[in-house]
Structure 1
Amino acid sequence: MGMSRWTGLAALAGVLALIQPHGANALAAPPPAAPALHYADLVDLADSAPLVIRAEIRNADLLPAARAPDVRPGWGRLYVEAVASGALRGMVPQGMLIRYLADVPLGPKGKVPPYKKLSVLLFARGKAGSDEVQLVAPDAQLIWNQDLDVRVRSLLSELGASDAPPRINGVTQALFEPGNLVGEGETQLFLSTANGQPATITVLHKPGQPTNWSVSFSEVVDARGRPPVPDTLPWYRLACGLPRSLPNGVNVSDNNDDRVQAAVDYENILHDLGPCERARGH
């Protein structure tokens, strides 16, 4: 998302005269319920948000379609003024008036249900000395509730941990090495990460035992570990970051049988991880 899509807040005072007369407070119906967000949806937002702000909306006005030509069908773009009531990440003074643009689903007949006085959670970037913030995604304004608050706080703790797994950029090498016994062997998958931190998946084959795999996000490889638990940050990094098949040229196993085994192990890892489910539109 380029900055050009979200610039111009400072000039909105002149735009407000063009705002549609039936704005956020014209209808009695509440805002449409958003689909239940998956773990991956929240990580997508939080991972790139220097600020996570809880705020109460004071005013929300719908911009004319001509002023928001890139909004997806069935949605509208709001110019919002809200009062910060706290920050889950970053520093925002309590009681500070903030301004931003947010895309929201429209109600019946293309109208915007009332957002005034609603508590929201914002995933945003800010600029020192300015009351304007930029959402990290057009729909990065979420209606606040206690369950969402707990989920996001837990996620931010995961992301802020010293041993938090980094983003995965891809697979750099895959290698299967057979053991001395029939049915014995080990596949290693070396991953590239956004911060250069080592990351390795190890798959162990032992005769008469189930195949076991684990991931390490450090130089120490523990082949006796277990796959990551779903809806945790290690799971997200793999399920949502690994390519759907091994890239060409990375499988450096010695012969065709070994290359096939490495590829099968990779497919089984993806199967064990399951899909990276998201409810938000992309």
Structure 2
Amino acid sequence: MNPVTVLAAVLLASAAPAAPADSPPPAAGPTYADLADLALAAPVVAQVRTLEAIPVNDADAAGLRPGFARLYVQAEVTALIRAAGPVPSRVAYLVDLPRDARGRPARIVKGSQFLLLAATVPGRPGELRLIARDAQIPLAPLSAERLRAIVREAAAPAPPPVVTGIGRAFYSPGNLPGESETQIFVQTADRRPVSLSILRRPGETPRWAVALSEVVDESASVPKPDTLLWYRLACGLPRTLPASSLADADAAGAAAIRRDYQLVLDSLGPCVRMRTAA
């Protein structure tokens, strides 16, 4: 076994269990949700330029999927977007890439630039482990900009919490025909208060807002697309309200709450993930 194979095998053995078999994202690049899924789970987010990419013998590549080849990559870090501790300017990692139509191993041209979503390998300085099989992303301005924004928002003192479900929902008809207010409480992983408010006024377009505190005030607004709050809601809210959320409403009120909740979902738009669709 040559030295590269030995080092690659040690790096793989020291890594955490392999991530689920996600296929690489399409040529158009990952979506915001794809990047957020990866970035929020990655202790290290870095931009690198490859120095060398050496094929690993299939026999020494444990867990290699059919139709893929494993490469041992050495690269220089050109930008460190996030890291819990120091990361050397030169790193090494393993990546699995699909073979071409003739079954030949994929190649990485020297000088190619990538965004890496990774973790350090305990006891092996300078070696990284990709957190998913598609966590080496070709560098593109939009992906880099999105990753930086996600990391920046996630590092804020109180980033938007993880949505785990829907709590109680309440409907209040107004004094005028067509006037109403619906309030829907969102359950979160850290139990921080989040609520959705939907207002309807005669002759006006329905309005909704999300509040990240117990008090709904003027700071409540609709989240901008491709932000962490948008991601938490668009990708975390259930597609339908659970029956427990409507326990305090009569039939008419429950129908109105469902209508207003659908308004919120439609306004947020779909959470598109190319990684899971691939």
- Interval containing the TM-score (normalised by the shorter chain): 0.7 to 0.9
How far the C-alpha of 1:14 sits from its partner, in A, is 11
Q: Is the 8 A contact 1:50 1:124 kept in 2?
A: yes
- Return 221-230 or 197-206, whichever deviates more: 221-230
Q: Judge which range, 121-130 or 212-221, deviates more.
A: 121-130
Once superposed, what is the RMSD of the aligned Cα atoms?
Answer: 3.0
Distance, in Å, in 1 between the alignment partners of 2:248 and 2:219 is 22
2-structure distance, mates of 1:236, 1:44: 9
Matched with 1:277 is: 272
Query: Which secondary structure state, in structure 2, belongs to the residue aligned with residue 108 of structure 1?
Result: coil
For 1:242-278, what per-residue CA distance to the aligned partner results, in whole angstroms no more than 9, with x for missing partners?
1111123221333110011111111121111111112
The aligned residue for residue 12 of structure 1 is: 9
Residue of structure 2 in register with 1:36 after alignment: 29
Query: What is the deviation of 1:123?
Result: 0.6
Asked if the contact 1:177/1:253 (under 8 Å) is kept, the reply is: no
Unaligned runs of 5+ in 2: 1-5, 13-23
Deviation at 1:69, TM superposition (A): 4.6
Does the Cα contact within 8 Å between 2:25 and 2:134 map onto a contact in 1? no
Q: Is the 8 A contact 2:117 2:131 kept in 1?
A: yes
Percent identity between matched residues is 37
Matching residue of 2:217: 222
Q: What residue number does 1:267 align with?
A: 262
Inter-CA distance 253–184: structure 2 relative to 1 (3 Å threshold): farther
Aligned to 1:243: 238
- Deviations, residues 27-77 of structure 1 (Å, cap 9, x unaligned): xxxx99733222111111111111102223322425528945573x65444
Q: CA 1:147–1:202 in structure 2 vs 1: closer, same or farther (change >3 Å)?
A: closer
The equivalent of 2:179 in structure 1 is 184
Shift in Å, 1:127: 4.0
> 2:121 aligned with 1:124, yes or no?
no
Match of 1:208 in 2: 203
Specify which of 124, 138, 143 is matched with residue 138 of structure 2. 143
Match of 1:54 among 47, 50, 65: 47
Equivalent residues in 2 for 1:60-209, closer than 5 Å:
60-62=54-56, 64=58, 67-69=61-63, 71=65, 74-90=67-83, 91-99=85-93, 101-117=94-110, 118-131=112-125, 132-209=127-204
Task: Provide Cα deviations, 1:116-141, integer angstroms capped at 9, x if missing partner.
Answer: 42222111122454233222211111
Whose relative contact order is higher, 1 or 2, with alpha carbons under 8 Å and at least 6 apart?
2
Matched-pair contact (CA < 8 Å) for 1:127–1:133: yes
Specify whether residues 14 and 257 from structure 1 end up closer, same or farther in structure 2 by C-alpha distance, changes over 3 A only: closer
Indicate conservation of the 8 Å contact 1:203/1:213, yes or no. Answer: yes
CA separation of 1:105 and 1:173: change in aligned 2, threshold 3 A: farther
Q: How far apart in 2 are the matches of 1:157 and 1:114?
A: 33
Residue segments in structure 1 that go unaligned for 5+ positions in a row: 1-8, 16-30
